[in-house]
Structure 1
Amino acid sequence: MSDIRETNVLVDVKDLKKHFVKSKDIWGRTTGVLKAVDGVSFQIRRGETFGLVGESGSGKSTVGRCLLRLYDYTAGEVLFDGQPISTLGEKQLKPFRRRIQSIFQDPYSSLNPGMNVLELIGEPMNIHGMLPGVEREDAIAALLDRVGLKREHLYRYPHEFSGGQRQRISIARALAVRPEFVVCDEPISALDVSVQAQVVNMLEDLQSEFGLTYLFIAHDLSMVRHISDRIGVMYKGRLVEVADSDELYDNPLHPYTQALLSAIPVPDPRATAERIVWSGDDHPAWDSVPLREVSPGHYAAIAE
C-alpha cells in the first residue's frame, strides 16, 4: 500500500520552513523572526483533495504560497511530480506555472478591474501561447458555461458581477491553462453561505472532469470534511495531525484538533454540544512533538 502511495504522489512537502524577518538592529542584523511555517511535511496524491485547516495565523496560506513559488522558502524541499521547485529558474518556472494554478480568497481583489472577462481568462492562455483569437474566445465561452456563466458575460467587468460570479470567473481563469494542481486558498470564505455549497460542488465536478488535484485551505471545518479526502491540521506553523477526512472527524487525537472540531456549529437549537477550549498550555512541548503514525494513514503529535 505504501508503494502505491509513493508512486502516486504529485506534491511532496518535506520539512518546509518559511520564516519572516520581524525586526533588525541598527547594523541590519536580524533580531526577530516570525516562524510562519516551521517544519511541515505531507504528501498530496494525484486526483485527491488535501484539506489544510487551522486558525488564522497558523501558516496555512503561507504553505500554499510556498507551493506556488510566490514565496521562496527558508528551508526544506517541495517536490512537484518528483522535481524540486526551489531549483527552477525563470525559464523553467513558466511551464511549471501552467501545471499549478491558484484560486484566492477574495475574487474581487484577485481580478484586474480594468479587464473584462475575455481578457482576464485569456491572459494566462496568451502568456502560454494557447489557441489563436477566435478559437480562444470559443474556449473561454465554453469554460464560462462550465462554471455556470454565459457567453454574454465575456465583455463585462468584475464590478458587474456578484461575489459568487466573480469567484466562478477566477475558477475559469485557473482552469484556462489546463493545470494538474490547484491551490484553493479559502475560495469560499468571502462568499455568501447560500453560494458556498454551489462553488464547492462545482469544484468537485471540475476535479472529476479535468483530473485535478487540490490543496484546499479553509476555515469552515464542515465544508473541508465534505470536499477533502485527507486533512492536515496546522497549529503555530506546524502540522499536528494528518488523517483521512472521516477518521480525523470521528477520532481526533490532538487536543487542538478536538478543540477545533468542537467549535463547529450544530444546526439544532436543542443540541448541547460541549465546547473544548484549547489554551496551548496542555502540554509544554506540543510545539516540538513530531508526528507519528498511530493507525494506518493517521498521523498525530502525541506526547508520551
Structure 2
Amino acid sequence: MSDTTTPLTQGLQLDERQRAMLAEMGVRLWWPEPEVPAEVKADAPARPAVAAPARAAAPAPATAPLPRAAPSERPAPPAPRTVPVVPLGDGALTDLDWPALQDHMKACTACPLSQGRCNVVPGVGDAQRPDWLVVGEAPGEQEDRQGEPFVGAAGQLLDKMLLAMGLARGERVYITNVIKCRPPHNRNPEPAEVAQCAPFLQRQIELLQPRIVLAVGRFAAQSVLALAGVDEATRGQPLGKLRGQVFRLPTAQGSVPVVVSYHPAYLLRSPAEKGKAWADLCLAMAQLDRPA
C-alpha cells in the first residue's frame, strides 16, 4: 500500500480556501518551527516571552440546581373498607317510583365501586310493563363509559338473540344488570357488592312487572334466584345444572317465571354452546303462552 500521508511541511502550502475548510471542521493547524542555523540563532535578538492567554472562566449557571429530593417511602396501602350491605327486602326503596329510583341509583355512593365509575348503568329499554326483563351481571368498560348495558360485542349478540325471538332492544324488553357500577378491571362481582345492589334490582322488578325474567350468566342467575327465595344450595349449582328449569319469582301481582341461560359474552368465547342458549330462549318463550 502506498503512503498517501501528506508531509507536515507541505501543509504550509495550503491556500486560504483549504484553511477555511479545516477551520470550519474545527481542525487546528500546527506546524513545527523551521530549522535555523546555529550562527543565525546567535545573531538573532532574543524574543520576548509571550504569556499564554488566560482561560475564560465558565459562566455561572443562571439558577442554582435544585437539590434532589430524598426518595420518599411508599405509603402503606389503605385499610380495607367495610362495604355496607342493605339486607334484601328491607323496604328501603319501596316508596320510590321509577324516576326516583333512577335518581337514587345514579347518586348511590354506598360501596367502593362508586369511586371508580364513569357512569352508573341502571338499565335501558321499555320501562312501561315490558314482557321481558333481561338481567345481566355487571357493566363492562364500554357500558361504564356510555351508561348503557350490553353495548359491546356481547350486546350485539344479545340484540341478535332478541331479534330471533321477534323482539328488539327498547320494544317490550328492558335490559339491566345485577351490579349497577363497573367492577375494577371487569373482575367478578363480590358477594357484598351483589347484596348492596340487590334492592335496586328487586325494586326494578316490582315497578316493571315483566311477564318473564331471563337471567344470563352465573351471577345474574344466583341473584335473581335469591330474590325468588331459592335455597342457597340450589342456586349455588353450576349454571349448566340450572338451565332447563323454570323458577318462579314471587311479586305483588303473583309470580313471574324465571329462566336462566348463558351470558352472551360466554357464548362469544364458546360458540358451540349457542344451541343450548337457543333452547333456553325457546323454553322462556313457551312460558308466555301459559297462564300465570
Q: Same fold (TM over 0.5)?
A: no
Answer with 1 or 2: which has the greater Rg: 2
Larger strand proportion of the pair? 1
TM-score by length of 2: 0.28
